[in-house]
Amino acid sequence: GTSLCTDKSVPAVVIKGLAEHKVALGAPLCPCRFYEDKEAEAKDGYWNCPCVPMRERHECHCMLFLTEDNPFAGSEQEIGYDEVVDFSKGMS
């Protein structure tokens, strides 16, 4: 299993970015990377969440899915909508 980062602003910002990409691009493209062409990357699917590194090796560079051996892993596995909104205020 995985858990969220102890600093809930981290998953909140990632989730907000994923949601924005889902609306704009039709896919939850990882918001933690730079893309020359977001539309092409979304269609390719490699960096759509959960990305290939996460699916294959359980490596989440966004710190959204943390294994228990990660020093930043908290005990919580859920974050609510209101928390996402509150923690991601001012982030674009």
62 noted as active-site residue: no
37 vs 67: CA distance, rounded Å: 31
Question: What is the distance between the alpha carbons of residues 43 and 79, in angstroms, rounded to a whole number?
Answer: 28
What span, in angstroms and rounded, lies between the C-alpha atoms of 75 and 40?
A: 36
Catalytic position from the list 5, 30, 32, 62: 32
Please identify every residue annotated as catalytic.
32
